[in-house]
Structure 1
Amino acid sequence: MTNLDSVLAQVDANFDDSLKRLVTLVGFKSISTDPDYKEECQKAAEWIANELNGIGIDTRVHETPGHPMVVGHDSDTADKPGPHVLFYAHYDVQPVDPLELWDDDPFNAKVFEKDGVKMIFGRGSSDDKGQMLTFVEACRAYKEVHGSLPIAVSILFEGEEESGSPSLLPFLNAHKDELSKDLALVCDTTMFDPETPAITTMLRGLMGEEIIITAANRDLHSGAYGGPAANPIKILSRILADLHDDNGRVQIPGFYDGVEELAPDVKAQWDALPFDDAEFLRDVGLSIPAGETGYSVYEQLNARPTCEFNGITGGYTGSGFKTVIASQASAKISCRLVGKQDPDKIRENLRAFVEERLPADCSVDYIEHGSAPGHSLSADFPPLQKGAAALKDEWGKDTIMMGMGGSIPIVSEFKDILGMDSMLIGYALETDNIHSPNEKYNLESYHKGIRSWVRVLAALAE
């Protein structure tokens, strides 16, 4: 039996105990956004630190103005091959409302079987406590068999991810020297499907902007002023309509600077995926793709930038009817960004686009609603190739180099503050009801997730 086989066998032999630890961790009501659960967050952090210390990872609970950070470093890091990795996850969870839609107590984790699939039920079972423990349990198996890990490992678990991470940036800046490593591993993502492993290599960034156009100095009677008076709703609507051409391309100057086409091998892999465009749209009552012409729905979702309108207000919107020309109209716009798009430059160019179309006697104000660049890993990034091969060895299928339509801010912060790239490997599924009632985590995802990290750590040591 090889060194790797012996560790995998240990994972299998200890899986029942690993599952019991997950049941215990789910039992902590670590809802970060609700002050009533501050003590529960503290208890969860201390329990995790105790488990890590118990397997030889020297761990401290660091107090913050919010909920604690758990930071650990393997006690045996000398002369290890491969990169020194920082593994990140979060132990806090979303609120459980509406409670009446849960089939059972959200914090009384239970194992059950549905349609032949065994699952663990409970808030945080998938997001992110189950994912977190896949890595911890892989480290445990290595320590129990060989007494050490194949590479140098540090750990950062936060308790505020589900509430905007207000303490994270100050903590990263204050502990930069301690936390800056060669590579970040993040386990807060999904597989492509229950049998197909994935590494998320692309995350879309975000730029949010609110535009407020003011015309007259008060609301006007449409009979007395209709015609000669500038109507900000009309002006705003025209500007919004100009933001896209007939092919769905965004018309903000310089918008596509830094956007790269998919690598041919990734595009071929995506084109071969069993993703049904029609079914995807049908699930939400639609049938005709409305995005950028020339790109599949899957590619639009994961690798193309967007400019979307999230809310428009102006004039009278109450019951009945009021013949008024509003003084103001506003729109909230979000741009999902990819590649090397610069969110600050796009914001600047969007404002110039608006002002070029604004009548001289009208004014515009803006409210910023945050920004973050996109994230991508080069296909030839060595840890990526090693991780993909290790996952294939465990799951028996090629690893999908996946994109994600949303963003994970920690990835940008690791790059900007700690100077690290991140490799995102997760074992959750889209069907896990993350953030919803009846959250669950497939036992196979948990078990094979542990085995997968065993293989990834071994591969990174090569």
Structure 2
Amino acid sequence: MGIHSVLLLSSTLIALSRASTVDDATKYSKENVKDIDADLLKLAAIPSISSLPEHARDIVAASEWLIEKLKAAGLENVKLLPTKAQPSVYAEWLRATGAPTVLIYGHYDVQPVDPLELWDTPPFEPKVDRKDKMLFNGRGVSDDKGGLLQPIHAVEAYLKTSKQLPVNVKFLLEGQEEIGSPNLAELLQEHKDLLRADIALSADGGQISPKHSGIALGLRGAVAFEVEAQTVDVDLHSGMKGGSVQNPIHALAQFIDNLHAPNGSVKVEGFYRGVQERTAEDIADAAAYPFDEEAEMKSLGALGPHGEDGYTTLERRWLRPTLEVVGIWGGFTGTGIKTIVPSKATAKISCRLVPDQDPVEVLEALRAHTKSHAPPQTRLTFRKLPFHAQPYLMPRDTVANRAATKVLKEHFEGPFFYREGGSIPALALMKEHLGIWCTSFGFGLSTDNLHSPNERYMVSMWDKGREAWIKLLHEMSVLGSGQEEQAEPDMSTVLKDEL
């Protein structure tokens, strides 16, 4: 047997062995779908709302459930990583000698459920329908409990079949992403050695549609604040005092109106410092992206697109910073009428930021604007809110992006490169503290009612995502070790050489 033939035969056997391992894990995943579905229903039934103190025990319950699940899946060194508030959950499997180490991120906390009356089914009594609507329903099924369970189930499928993984893995499952990850930077710095990895992947994210896949190169950062307008010490009789004192709701409306210029831009000095103009590549990405603006507006019940002049809808979402009033209240809001001039009115405001804006500088610009733009006879109070994220922008050509591209092509059209309008603080923080880029590899959809009543997750995306994670871990073992997988040799040629 010639050396060339030996190498070809060896390469063939390795390729077949790898394919067999992936096939076995995929088969296990399909055969155990009832148990896998049950895991999501159990985890989604825990009301782990990080923003509400009354759910602190539920955060603990969710973290404890994950610890038991990770152990049952075959992970090792499973433990809590405490923070000043909600803890993170850590697990690892580091027995793949010579293979890269992959850090997998997700979050187990969820958004509040208000308004409860708009839910068709109780938010924390999740259901799955695999026959008719093909949906999971319940808070957190898509964001991000379904997402974080997919890589756990992928790892479990490997360990239950071949007893090994193609790569080393570490899991970091956070409990406070939905409140802006306020303690994650400190946790990453404190456990820098424990979390050290070659590649990072986020299970928090989504795809463009059931048909189209995408790889998010960037996410917007965020800051948020609350502004309170006060004009008198107590609520006043609107007949006796109305028209003679400033109304704080009127004053607050005036202040809010003054935050934007007529062209839709933010009228705050220093707000746009660092913002880069769109590049030819940005424009090309937006043009290639599968987006039907008219259909989306119709599906949202919107009368049409709206925003900063001179930019397309996608450019407004991907490349431009925003300032949005996300909550406002004051006076009497109950049934009927209470004739008062209220003493106070309050608004919550969230800003999404783009590279290279500095969240700290933006917040100070907003504070200064609030101080200098109080309406007549109005005291404005500025309060920073615990929602802070750095903008994130990664290179296109990374090992994880190449591996994700190869896997996604097997299941979707694409992938298309794009920027995500939302924020996941962990991605920028991992780059800052661990020195690694993080690729989002999630399978939720924008139609999943994220952060809204009736959150859902398509069964097809749940199943497809789990299979894709199995394949992705395999691709990481090839690309991450610097060994591009060779095409399988033609067996007839190998046999002919042998003869």
TM-score normalised by the shorter chain: which range applies? 0.7 to 0.9
* 1:431-446 superposed matches below 5 A: 431-432=447-448, 436-437=453-454, 439-443=456-460, 444-446=463-465
Instruction: State the SS of the aligned residue for 1:259.
Output: coil
Instruction: From the superposition, tell whether residues 359 and 41 of structure 1 become closer, same or farther in structure 2 (CA, over 3 Å).
Output: closer
Per the TM alignment, residue 197 of structure 1 is displaced from its structure 2 partner at its CA by 1.9
2:66 to 5, 30, 45: 45
Alignment of 1:59 with 2:80, yes or no, is no
* Residue of structure 2 in register with 1:90 after alignment: 107
* Residue of structure 2 in register with 1:264 after alignment: 280
1:76 to 83, 91, 95: 95
Alpha-carbon separation, structure 2, partners of 1:229 and 1:348 = 31
Contact 2:229 2:378 in 1 (8 A): yes
Contact 1:126 1:432 in 2 (8 A): yes
Alpha-carbon separation, structure 1, partners of 2:270 and 2:363 = 11
* Residue of structure 2 in register with 1:332 after alignment: 348
Which 10-residue stretch deviates more, 67-76 or 229-238? 229-238
Instruction: State the SS of the aligned residue for 1:372.
Output: coil
Alpha-carbon separation, structure 1, partners of 2:296 and 2:325 = 21
Contact 2:275 2:355 in 1 (8 A): yes
* Residue of structure 1 in register with 2:479 after alignment: 459
Deviations 1:439-459 (A, max 9, x none): 344244235433442354233
Alpha-carbon separation, structure 2, partners of 1:104 and 1:332 = 25
Alpha-carbon separation, structure 2, partners of 1:240 and 1:272 = 36
Instruction: State the SS of the aligned residue for 1:89.
Output: strand
Alignment of 1:295 with 2:311, yes or no, is yes
Identity %: 30
2:131 to 113, 116, 123: 113
Instruction: From the superposition, tell whether residues 254 and 383 of structure 1 become closer, same or farther in structure 2 (CA, over 3 Å).
Output: farther
* Residue of structure 1 in register with 2:3 after alignment: none
Q: Provide the TM-score with structure 1 as the length reference.
A: 0.80
Instruction: State the SS of the aligned residue for 1:260.
Output: coil
* 1:6-405 superposed matches below 5 A: 6-28=20-42, 29-33=45-49, 34=55, 37=58, 40-41=61-62, 44-53=65-74, 57-62=75-80, 64=82, 69-80=88-99, 82=100, 84-91=101-108, 101-102=120-121, 106=125, 110=128, 112-114=130-132, 125-140=141-156, 148-158=164-174, 171-215=187-231, 235-313=251-329, 319-320=336-337, 322=339, 324=341, 328-358=344-374, 363-383=379-399, 385-395=401-411, 397-405=413-421
Alpha-carbon separation, structure 2, partners of 1:201 and 1:11 = 29
Instruction: State the SS of the aligned residue for 1:132.
Output: helix
Instruction: From the superposition, tell whether residues 374 and 174 of structure 1 become closer, same or farther in structure 2 (CA, over 3 Å).
Output: closer
Alpha-carbon separation, structure 1, partners of 2:346 and 2:108 = 38
* Residue of structure 1 in register with 2:9 after alignment: none
**Which letter does structure 1 place at the counterpart of 2:19?**
D
Instruction: State the SS of the aligned residue for 2:21.
Output: helix
Per the TM alignment, residue 121 of structure 1 is displaced from its structure 2 partner at its CA by 6.3
Instruction: From the superposition, tell whether residues 364 and 166 of structure 1 become closer, same or farther in structure 2 (CA, over 3 Å).
Output: closer
Alpha-carbon separation, structure 1, partners of 2:118 and 2:303 = 34
Q: Calculate the aligned-residue CA RMSD, in Å.
A: 4.0
Per the TM alignment, residue 283 of structure 1 is displaced from its structure 2 partner at its CA by 3.0
Deviations 1:296-328 (A, max 9, x none): 22332333211122344566777557485x665
Instruction: From the superposition, tell whether residues 70 and 313 of structure 1 become closer, same or farther in structure 2 (CA, over 3 Å).
Output: closer
Contact 2:110 2:143 in 1 (8 A): yes
**Which letter does structure 2 place at the counterpart of 1:30?**
I
Contact 2:148 2:203 in 1 (8 A): yes
Contact 1:49 1:59 in 2 (8 A): no
**Which letter does structure 2 place at the counterpart of 1:304?**
R
Per the TM alignment, residue 40 of structure 1 is displaced from its structure 2 partner at its CA by 5.0
Alpha-carbon separation, structure 2, partners of 1:104 and 1:290 = 32
**Which letter does structure 1 place at the counterpart of 2:192?**
K
Alpha-carbon separation, structure 2, partners of 1:357 and 1:417 = 38
Alpha-carbon separation, structure 2, partners of 1:359 and 1:90 = 41
Contact 2:408 2:414 in 1 (8 A): yes
Alpha-carbon separation, structure 2, partners of 1:306 and 1:184 = 28
Instruction: State the SS of the aligned residue for 1:102.
Output: coil
Kindly tell me the number of residue pairs found equivalent between the two proteins: 453
Deviations 1:29-53 (A, max 9, x none): 4332446657853652243232343
Q: Provide the TM-score with structure 2 as the length reference.
A: 0.75
Per the TM alignment, residue 4 of structure 1 is displaced from its structure 2 partner at its CA by 4.5
Alpha-carbon separation, structure 1, partners of 2:277 and 2:21 = 41
**Which letter does structure 2 place at the counterpart of 1:439?**
R
Alpha-carbon separation, structure 1, partners of 2:276 and 2:124 = 47
Instruction: From the superposition, tell whether residues 262 and 400 of structure 1 become closer, same or farther in structure 2 (CA, over 3 Å).
Output: farther
Instruction: State the SS of the aligned residue for 2:362.
Output: helix
Instruction: From the superposition, tell whether residues 94 and 23 of structure 1 become closer, same or farther in structure 2 (CA, over 3 Å).
Output: farther
Alpha-carbon separation, structure 2, partners of 1:306 and 1:113 = 41
Alpha-carbon separation, structure 2, partners of 1:104 and 1:242 = 38
Instruction: From the superposition, tell whether residues 430 and 18 of structure 1 become closer, same or farther in structure 2 (CA, over 3 Å).
Output: farther
Alpha-carbon separation, structure 2, partners of 1:350 and 1:103 = 39
Instruction: From the superposition, tell whether residues 160 and 243 of structure 1 become closer, same or farther in structure 2 (CA, over 3 Å).
Output: closer
Per the TM alignment, residue 209 of structure 1 is displaced from its structure 2 partner at its CA by 1.9
Which 10-residue stretch deviates more, 186-195 or 140-149? 140-149
**Which letter does structure 1 place at the counterpart of 2:21?**
V
Instruction: State the SS of the aligned residue for 1:176.
Output: coil
Instruction: State the SS of the aligned residue for 1:50.
Output: helix
Deviations 1:195-225 (A, max 9, x none): 2222222222222222234456677788998
Per the TM alignment, residue 382 of structure 1 is displaced from its structure 2 partner at its CA by 1.9
Q: Which runs of 5+ in 1 are unaligned?
A: none
**Which letter does structure 2 place at the counterpart of 1:252?**
V
* Residue of structure 2 in register with 1:424 after alignment: 440
Alpha-carbon separation, structure 1, partners of 2:95 and 2:62 = 29
Deviations 1:156-183 (A, max 9, x none): 2345656776875664454232113343
Alpha-carbon separation, structure 2, partners of 1:348 and 1:95 = 29
Instruction: State the SS of the aligned residue for 1:289.
Output: coil
Alpha-carbon separation, structure 2, partners of 1:313 and 1:20 = 45
Per the TM alignment, residue 248 of structure 1 is displaced from its structure 2 partner at its CA by 0.6
Contact 1:89 1:128 in 2 (8 A): yes
* Residue of structure 2 in register with 1:407 after alignment: 423
Instruction: From the superposition, tell whether residues 98 and 307 of structure 1 become closer, same or farther in structure 2 (CA, over 3 Å).
Output: closer
**Which letter does structure 2 place at the counterpart of 1:442?**
V
Instruction: From the superposition, tell whether residues 419 and 226 of structure 1 become closer, same or farther in structure 2 (CA, over 3 Å).
Output: same
Alpha-carbon separation, structure 1, partners of 2:326 and 2:118 = 28
